[in-house]
Amino acid sequence: MNEWQHKRENNFKELRVIIFLLCAIVFGMAILFKFNWNITASQTYESIPNYLRNNFLLVLCLLVALLGSGIMPRLNALSVGTLLLSTFIFILIAHFHDYYLKTLLIIPVAFASFSKSKKFGCIIAFGSGLLLCLGDLYKYGFKFPNRYFESDIIFTGVMFICAWLIGGIASIERDTRNYLLELANKDGLSGVYNHRYFQDYFKKSVEEAKETNQPISLIIFDIDFFKYYNDTFGHTAGDQVLRDVGQVLLQEIKHPGIAARYGGDEFCILLPHHDSKAAFLTAKKLKDKINELILNDEKVNQLPTGKLSITVGVASFPEHTKSGEDLLELADQALYKAKRTSKDKIELYFNVLDTLKGTCDQSEMELLSSTKTLLSIINAKDRYTYGHSERVLKYATLLAQKCGLNEEEVRFIQYGAYLHDIGKIEVDINILNKPGRVSTEEWEVLKQHPYWGSEIIRPIKSLAKVRPYILHHHENYDGTGYPLGLSGSNIPLGARIIRIVDSFDAMTTDRPYKKGMTAETACQEILSMAGTHYDPSLCSLFVSLVLSQSETFNT
């Protein structure tokens, strides 16, 4: 909720409290006016205890009203507070047998109409008037004319008009406020919440999740090839797709979850009380419904891509982050990882470095956090590196498992595969993104990145076994590689594995100056260099792995 909304609610609460206090003051005055003070000043203190004893019930009701004047509005128990006021007034009327006190009934009627609704105010007015009229009939019988009965009918009408007027004005103000809030908080095109409201709600929900120790998940998705669609059929057609997607989200996401258009063709869904498993199921349901909706669009078949789908990233607190504030960043990372590896999928956030958290002390945790930041910077600097490390991690994991390595050895190879290019943080961005071949001087700079990478992680003791994998992942099996020219089994096994899968991904990835090979062609290229660049036995295992799991290696 926005700051001005908080301020407005606080002002209304303060107004309700003040009105209740004023009511109590008015009731107190009514009692004083009915109390016969024809006593001397010297007798005053003696008379008060007698009065309190003789009117114990009345005093008790007054104390209850005073207590209610402070508590009820603060508890938002406005209905109970209003009924308490009305009851107290009828007690006054019955106790003093004085009908001028009935004018006090205007107060709870007005208060109910203003604070709750026109309908509730009219009910209080009608109920109060009915009780007054029944009292008249009970006391004076059914003989007419009955001036008390007639007076109370007119008075009931006055209360009803008062309730209708005050409640109507309050209702108009409330409806206007809600309409303005909708304009301010909703995206005018898709109908879901907008970016600004999402940020406010996100901060509030994360704080609540941390205080109550409840999970909260975030889903981010965008529409694949939407720019092609917009360019081909125009913004009107693109806007209709966004409207349709918004309608699906409005139907499927229920409070306390919210859906918001984050920008362009990107949408966010915040799901309090959902862990990653529940969020993934929700994401899958949404993806299926939206994909079905998009596939029914006849224009989609005319696109150059032939499809229009969504790609989804999911992250959860506290599973993926302990702070919660970076949940948006983690879901965004999952989304872009999915888009870089293959579109039209759901990606649950995963970072292999997070598995180290249980083995690191506080200082190492800070270094690990810095390392992850460096990786993000490299991804921003080098268009090729973004997604490359994740794919190398995936391929290296499969090959390490194929070699029969135990779980711990596989995990260290995963760390090495994910961090193998971290030394590129020291390389100039112009060298990294140069469209053609680099010069001799530039090549000498690039060749330093394995050494720089191994030095970056040196302070993290938990990654001590990973340093050789990073340092030697460009060594050739015949000793012609760099930086130390190691050969054969002198090259650590993890480095030999990373060498093969790193080359495979480089061969199959499109670059500015060349199109990537097919997986089968890349396998032939790797086999041709078995014994020179690559470990021959690992080459055979890897090629058999690629051919048996072609879908995995062709994404």
pLDDT of residue 14: 72
pLDDT in tens, 268-303: 999 999 999 999 999 999 998 888 877 666 777 776
CB-based burial label for 32 (10 Å; 0-12, 13-18, 19+): exposed
Which is more confident, 356 or 123? 123
CB 371 within 8 A of CB 360: no
Q: Could you tell me if 446 and 431 are in contact, meaning their C-beta atoms sit under 8 angstroms apart?
A: yes
Where residue 225 falls (left for φ over 0; alpha for ψ -120 to 50; beta otherwise) is left
Token couple for 63: 């104390």
Looking at the chain, the whole-number percentage of residues with pLDDT higher than 70 is 74
- CA–CA separation, 469 and 450 (whole Å): 9
As a whole number, mean pLDDT of residues 154-170 equals: 86
Between residues 481 and 8, the one the model is more confident about: 481
Find the mean pLDDT for residues 218-247. Answer: 89
- Over residues 468-481, the pLDDT tens digits come to 999 999 999 999 99
For the residues 139-153, what does the mean pLDDT come to? 79
Confidence of residue 141 (pLDDT cuts 50, 70, 90): confident
Reported confidence tier of residue 75, pLDDT bands at 50, 70, 90: low
pLDDT at residue number 333: 83
Residue appearing with tokens 């990786």:
375
H helix or E strand, kind and range, residue 262:
strand 258-263
Mean pLDDT of the chain: 81
pLDDT of residue 299: 75
Question: Hey, what are 125's tokens?
Answer: 């007015």
Per-residue model confidence as pLDDT tens digits over 348-373: 887 777 766 655 666 666 666 667 77
Lowest mean pLDDT among 65-74, 204-213, 410-419, 453-462: 65-74
Q: What is the pTM of this model?
A: 0.64
What's residue 497's pLDDT? Answer: 96
Q: Which residue matches tokens 């509030």?
A: 204
Beta bridge partner(s), residue 193:
186, 260
The C-alpha atoms of residue 231 and residue 229 are separated, in whole angstroms, by: 6
